[in-house]
Amino acid sequence: MVETLRHDIVIVGGGAAGLRAAIAAVEADPRVSVALVSKVYPMRSHTVSAEGGAAAVARDDDSLEMHAYDTVKGSDFLGDQDVIQYFVEEAPRELTALEHWGCPWSRNPDGSVATRAFGGMTTKRTWYAADKVGFHMLHTLFQHSMRFERIVRYDEQFATKLLVEEGAVRGVTALDVREGVMRTILGRAVILATGGAGKCFPFTTNGNIKTGDGMALAYRAGVALKDMEFVQYHPTGLPGTGILITEAARGEGGRLFNSKQERFLETKPEYGVGSKLELGPRDMISRAIIREVQAGNGIKGPYGEYVHLDLTHLDAGLLQKRLPFVLELARTYVGVDPVTQPIPVRPVVHYMMGGVDTDIDGATELPGLYAVGECASHSLNGANRLGSNSLTECLVFGARAGRHAVDFVSGVGGVDEGRLRERADQEAARVEALRGKQKGGEKLVQLRREMNQAMEEGCGVYRDQGSMRATVETLAQLRGRFADIALEDPSRVFNTELIAALELANMLDVAEAVAIAALDRRESRGAHACSDYPTRNDQEFLHHSLVYFEAGGPRVDKKDVTLGTWEPEERKY
């Protein structure tokens, strides 16, 4: 029988959002017991790879209203304006809290926190710690969390299922990667903070752990995934690896050039970035690069065509001070020294605007279940996220969900654990049957490759009905074929093949939701650009998409957008 552990709140995921939720919960009520369950040690979480910064109004020439409007416009009017308003109000407080906890924010000469320019932001409001902002925020949060004994870590434990009883979530089952045994971790609230699902795609900035686990857990428990068709392609990834070159490189003055040495964002007004040029929003700049390549203006390389990100006109001292990681990454991974040579870059899958459907508290429609960070969709980002809003989002909504969960659990009574144990035993048997499963004709690596290829073909920067439909069909087949998977490793301890299989199952579900939602949105909005429906259609599509997991296949639904101060208008820069 499966061992049972008991806490008040179970948080799945130990990145910025999960850690912030944990800290907020124990701060709100020091008696509350929090389980922090993560498939990796928290400091390995993908927050660590975020580079450029975190947005919050800090300067006298800025205002909350301007941050809100930039975010609404960036979202192509699909962000909920009440959520955006709350976000911009809380953002300065949250980044200040990080400052008090020791985050090494870069400083102005007078000792105040420095801010830099970022894409789609009207003024300098992105706080930074050189170009390793995610790394510093994550380690600050992780080290700060060590103060609290009531945060109990379960490191390298892979959550496999949400336990639901009497219409409410009651905990999770988790595979202890190291012991190879399943455990039940009960809590009267569960907060999912597992990040995005970039690994559904072949070319991504995301680390290997970004497999949509929390999205899949919620989806299978009957909670909708929202706005999944909006996949952010970051304009500047290194060819081959997909390693991110931060937007801060353009914030500090970097320029994009095609093979003809043409600064195409300046010479071609049709790309829509106006006078913002390289500091236009990510969706527009990624499209511009793809169109340059399609027009024959790409630079040919061993991993496809790319354009140049040029920093050579910037002072070497400034680059070393503000962008040391960019220098290290370019030198190490493409053998280019940005001080003297342009960096080869191409658009790369970076971020999911969509995720588990939540309200402004991070609460889902399943009582007790919350989602925060990239794994969630609070409708802050709508159809396109502005760079540097997401790190702040992890803090603002991680904290709010953590506090809300504390209130929620105080009103929830006990539950019949016998039923939960039964479910946990069934789940343990399912995972056990998969471990080293010999009978089957399908290979994990092959299925993963086919999923990656289908997602690239159907859910790229530009999409059309034909390719999306083909991708939806392929994914349905792949999900069927997964049942016939054969594995090779029957061992118990640190069986990473078993983890990879569980991750692939999660990705297949999430990928299907992305493709289905994309196929359903017959317009172009934000990051969802359809070549056969090239304009935004507010009449029919000014709504969030919802995808529900059902036995007969995914079901698509919709949800109203909350407008407010700003009515939709043409998105021009």
Partner 1 sequence: MSDVERKTFVVTRFDPDRDEVPKTQSYEVPCQPDWKILDALNFIKDHIDASLSHRWSCRMAVCGSCGMNVNGEPKLTCKVPISDYSDTIEVAPLSNFPVIRDLVVELEGFLEKLEAVKPFILRAKELSLDEGTTRQTPEELEEFKQFSMCINCMLCYAACPVVANEPEFLGPAAIALGHRYSLDTRDEGAAVRSEIFRGEGTVFSCSYANECSEVCPKNVDPAAAVNQAKFNSVIDWATRLVLPRGGEK
Residue 332 in contact with partner 1, rule: CB under 8 A:
yes
- By beta-carbon proximity to partner 1, the closer residue of 17 and 209 is 209
- By beta-carbon proximity to partner 1, the closer residue of 139 and 544 is 139
Q: Is 331 a catalytic residue?
A: no
CA count, 13 A, side-chain hemisphere, 25: 36
* Distance separating alpha carbons of residues 169 and 100, to the nearest angstrom: 34
Q: How far is CA 120 from CA 74, 275, 316, 388, 566, in A?
A: 7, 11, 26, 10, 17
Query: Cα 306 to chain center, whole Å?
Result: 24
**Least distance from partner 1 to the Cβ atom of residue 486, Å:** 10
Among 30, 61, 65, 147, which residue interacts with partner 1 (rule: CB under 8 A)?
147
Q: Is 46 a catalytic residue?
A: no
Residue 102 in contact with partner 1, rule: CB under 8 A:
yes
**Least distance from partner 1 to the Cβ atom of residue 504, Å:** 12
Among 117, 244, 485, 527, which residue interacts with partner 1 (rule: CB under 8 A)?
244
Query: Cα 434 to chain center, whole Å?
Result: 28
**Least distance from partner 1 to the Cβ atom of residue 423, Å:** 28
Name the DSSP class of 85.
H
Backbone angles phi, psi at 423, to 5 degrees: -65, -40
- By beta-carbon proximity to partner 1, the closer residue of 151 and 519 is 151
**Least distance from partner 1 to the Cβ atom of residue 157, Å:** 13
Residue 36 in contact with partner 1, rule: CB under 8 A:
no
Stretch that binds partner 1, among 67-75, 141-149, 357-365, 504-512 (CB under 8 A): 141-149
Contacts of 526 (CB under 8 A, 6+ apart): 75, 76, 78, 230, 283, 353, 382, 383, 384
Residue 496 in contact with partner 1, rule: CB under 8 A:
yes
Residue 34 in contact with partner 1, rule: CB under 8 A:
no
Q: What is the DSSP track for 27-53?
A: HH-TT--EEEEESS-GGGSGGGG--S-
**Least distance from partner 1 to the Cβ atom of residue 197, Å:** 14
**For strand 151-155 and strand 34-38, is the pairing parallel, antiparallel, or unpaired?**
parallel
Residue 320 in contact with partner 1, rule: CB under 8 A:
no
Give the angle 33-35-41 at the CA atoms, nearest 5°.
Answer: 140
Q: What is the DSSP track for 158-182?
A: EEEEEEEETTEEEEEEEEETTTTEE
Stretch that binds partner 1, among 41-49, 67-75, 375-383, 532-540 (CB under 8 A): 41-49
Among 63, 104, 124, 543, which residue interacts with partner 1 (rule: CB under 8 A)?
104
Name the DSSP class of 274.
G
Residue 136 in contact with partner 1, rule: CB under 8 A:
yes
- By beta-carbon proximity to partner 1, the closer residue of 80 and 131 is 131
Of the residues 170, 183, 234, 404, only one is catalytic, namely 234
Residue 297 in contact with partner 1, rule: CB under 8 A:
no
Cβ proximity of 21 and 193 under 8 Å:
yes
Residue 489 in contact with partner 1, rule: CB under 8 A:
yes
- By beta-carbon proximity to partner 1, the closer residue of 209 and 515 is 209
Among 83, 223, 406, 444, which residue interacts with partner 1 (rule: CB under 8 A)?
444
Residue 122 in contact with partner 1, rule: CB under 8 A:
no
Residue closest to 28 by CA, chosen among 410, 391, 393, 370: 410
Q: Is 129 helix (H, G, I), strand (E, B) or coil?
A: coil
Counted residue by residue, the chain has a size of 573
Residue 54 in contact with partner 1, rule: CB under 8 A:
no
Residue 491 in contact with partner 1, rule: CB under 8 A:
yes
**For strand 151-155 and strand 485-486, is the pairing parallel, antiparallel, or unpaired?**
unpaired
Among 36, 40, 84, 542, which residue interacts with partner 1 (rule: CB under 8 A)?
40
- By beta-carbon proximity to partner 1, the closer residue of 384 and 495 is 495
As given in the structure block, the two tokens for residue 61 are: 């020439």
Cβ proximity of 564 and 247 under 8 Å:
no
Among 122, 143, 297, 312, which residue interacts with partner 1 (rule: CB under 8 A)?
143
Site for partner 1 in 184-213 (CB under 8 A): 207-209
Contacts of 335 (CB under 8 A, 6+ apart): none
**Least distance from partner 1 to the Cβ atom of residue 153, Å:** 8
**Least distance from partner 1 to the Cβ atom of residue 427, Å:** 23
User: Treating both helix axes as pointing N-terminal to C-terminal, what angle do 133-145 and 389-410 enclose, rounded to 10 degrees?
Assistant: 20
Of the residues 250, 308, 544, 571, only one is catalytic, namely 250
Name the DSSP class of 388.
T
Match 């190291």 to its residue by tokens.
178
Binding residue count for partner 1, defined by CB under 8 A:
61
Contacts of 269 (CB under 8 A, 6+ apart): none
- Which positions are annotated as active-site residues? 234, 250
Q: Which positions lie near partner 1, rule CB under 8 A?
A: 40-41, 43-46, 48-49, 93, 96-97, 99-102, 104-113, 132, 135-136, 139, 143-144, 146-147, 155, 178, 207-209, 240-241, 243-244, 302, 325, 328-329, 332-333, 335, 444-445, 487-489, 491-497
